[in-house]
């Protein structure tokens, strides 16, 4: 008897939950229909059709584990919750005359409306219903929905992926998930541990990580032909893996300060994937480090043990770079001087008064660091640390203590005066 009551109460709970969800779903649909088609549009749907509407409703996103992978259930639940969180904040506008709706509402309500209209297209009520919504282009909205989903998947892939730990990416499509009777987007979660190994260097054993990143096609491992680095061996045309040691990652985070580590890591992969290589007089191999096509420094690489190893990262003003050496020739600023003045990191040039100083800016431009004053707007928007404190006076007074610095200022002031005369 007790078991029977338990079964009845459990079924009653399920029925109650379904009734609540049905009321909420149809309530949202009523709001969307009346806002898009005018008051009374939702009432055109016959009552007996509403049950069909609810039973064939489109689902939002179903999260599955990737093929051949064992993803913990708590991780799948966490990912699903993040999808719902973002889906209720990402907006889509059906037309300029209508308010914006969330991606969640469009994937559940709007797609359901279009499916039902397709099934009931010959019915009298659907003809009037369709007429009221004729100003909308379903295909354009569906394309927008798909683009928003892909953007969200990309965003979450980057959010979950982290060097030294794991890489996460998603694949999927619209289909009817297992154990469900309605169309929805099924996203498969793929997780792999970041590849690492220990190698022997001249300084001893070092732990290194594969330079990798994720996109909509999955995990991508960076590789490079040794011949591009000037290496001459019988196998130099065969691409080899690229690895980065811990020291290089630490210097990247220190010197490209103010940017999320995920952006820095993604740029590391893309810089190696399409390398721009420079060879120094000291036989160092430098690969330009770029974010949004803005050069910010160099990755110091070497070919050893059948791999390409990134040993460290140099900001563009560091003495080990062509620009840094030129800046040293112009100013006599050494490594410790640059560190003291903080001109060896990105934040010094973001929002500071160096860009507007008529003496200092030409110095940095003459050294080849003009890229610091023409950063991509996307990069500028992503930076969280900006130097709004006046720093030009500190740098000029520091340089003026040296005779060479004084000569620099005299020459720079003459150039400024000549430029002003030309403009006049």
Q: Which of 216-220, 271-275, 339-343 has the lowest mean pLDDT?
A: 216-220
Residue-wise pLDDT for 92-119, tens only, equals: 877 777 778 888 888 888 888 887 888 7
DSSP SS3 for 108: helix
- Output the DSSP codes for 144-197: HHHHHHHHHHHHHHHHH-BTTTEEEEEEEEEE--TT--S-EEEEEEEEEEPPEE
Residue 271 has pLDDT above 90, yes or no: yes
Contact 306, 289 (CB under 8 A): no
Residue-wise pLDDT for 312-347, tens only, equals: 999 999 999 999 999 999 998 889 989 988 899 998
Write down how long the chain is: 424
Residue in the block written with tokens 């998603």: 170
> Which tokens in the block code for residue 384?
């969280």
Residue extents of the structural domains in the chain: 7-191, 196-423
Nearest by Cα to 404 from 355, 334, 356, 345: 334
CA dihedral 306→308→309→310, nearest 10 degrees, is: 180
Query: What is the end-to-end Cα distance of the chain in Å, rounded?
Result: 101
Residue-wise pLDDT for 121-133, tens only, equals: 888 888 888 888 7
Count CB atoms within 10 A of the CB of residue 100. Answer: 11
pTM value?
Answer: 0.77
Average pLDDT over residues 254-266: 91
Compute the distance between CA of residue 7 and CA of residue 62 in angstroms, rounded to an integer: 28
Average pLDDT over residues 52-57: 84
Compute the distance between CA of residue 170 and CA of residue 315 in angstroms, rounded to an integer: 34
Tell me the CA distances in angstroms from 164 to 69, 169, 210, 212, 367, one per residue in order: 20, 16, 9, 11, 36
To the nearest whole number, what is the mean pLDDT of the chain?
84
Residue 421 has pLDDT above 80, yes or no: no
Residue 203 has pLDDT above 80, yes or no: no
């Amino acid at each position: 008897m007790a078991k029977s009551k338990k079964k009845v109460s459990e079924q009653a709970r399920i029925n109650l939950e379904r009734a609540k969800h049905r009321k909420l779903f149809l309530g949202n649909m009523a709001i969307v229909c009346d806002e898009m088609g005018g008051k009374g549009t939702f009432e055109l749907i016959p009552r007996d059709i509403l049950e069909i509407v609810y039973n064939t409703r489109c689902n939002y996103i179903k999260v599955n584990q990737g093929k051949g992978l064992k993803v913990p259930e708590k991780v799948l639940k966490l990912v699903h919750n993040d999808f719902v969180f973002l889906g209720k904040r990402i907006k889509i506008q059906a037309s300029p005359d209508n308010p914006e709706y969330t991606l969640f509402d469009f994937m559940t309500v709007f797609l359901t409306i279009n499916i039902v209209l397709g099934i009931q297209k010959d019915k009298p009520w659907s003809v009037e219903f369709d007429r009221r919504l004729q100003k909308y282009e379903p295909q354009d909205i569906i394309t927008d929905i798909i683009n928003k989903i892909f953007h969200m998947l990309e965003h979450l892939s980057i959010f979950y992926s982290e060097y030294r730990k794991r890489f996460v990416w998603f694949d999927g499509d619209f289909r009817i998930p297992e154990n469900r009777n309605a169309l929805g987007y099924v996203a498969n979660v793929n997780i792999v541990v970041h590849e690492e190994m220990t190698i022997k260097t001249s300084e001893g054993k070092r732990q290194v990580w594969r330079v990798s990143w994720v996109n909509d096609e999955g995990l991508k491992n960076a590789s490079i032909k040794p011949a591009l680095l000037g290496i001459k061996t019988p196998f130099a045309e065969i691409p080899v893996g690229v690895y980065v040691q811990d020291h290089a990652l630490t210097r990247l985070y220190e010197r490209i300060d103010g940017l999320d580590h995920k952006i820095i890591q993604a740029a590391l992969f893309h810089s190696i994937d399409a390398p721009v290589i420079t060879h120094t007089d000291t036989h160092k191999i430098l690969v330009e480090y770029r974010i949004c096509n803005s050069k910010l420094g160099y990755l110091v690489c070497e070919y050893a043990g059948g791999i390409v190893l990134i040993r460290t990262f140099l900001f563009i003003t560091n003495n080990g770079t062509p620009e840094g050496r030129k800046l040293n020739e112009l100013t006599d600023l050494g490594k410790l001087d640059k560190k003291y003045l903080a001109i060896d990191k990105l934040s010094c040039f973001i929002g500071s008064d160096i860009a507007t100083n008529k003496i200092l800016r030409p110095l940095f431009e003459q050294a080849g660091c003009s890229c610091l004053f023409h950063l991509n707007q996307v990069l500028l928007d992503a930076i969280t640390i900006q130097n709004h404190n006046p720093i030009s006076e500190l740098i000029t007074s520091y340089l003026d203590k040296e005779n060479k610095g004084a000569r620099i200022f005299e020459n720079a002031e003459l150039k400024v005066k000549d430029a002003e005369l030309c403009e006049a």
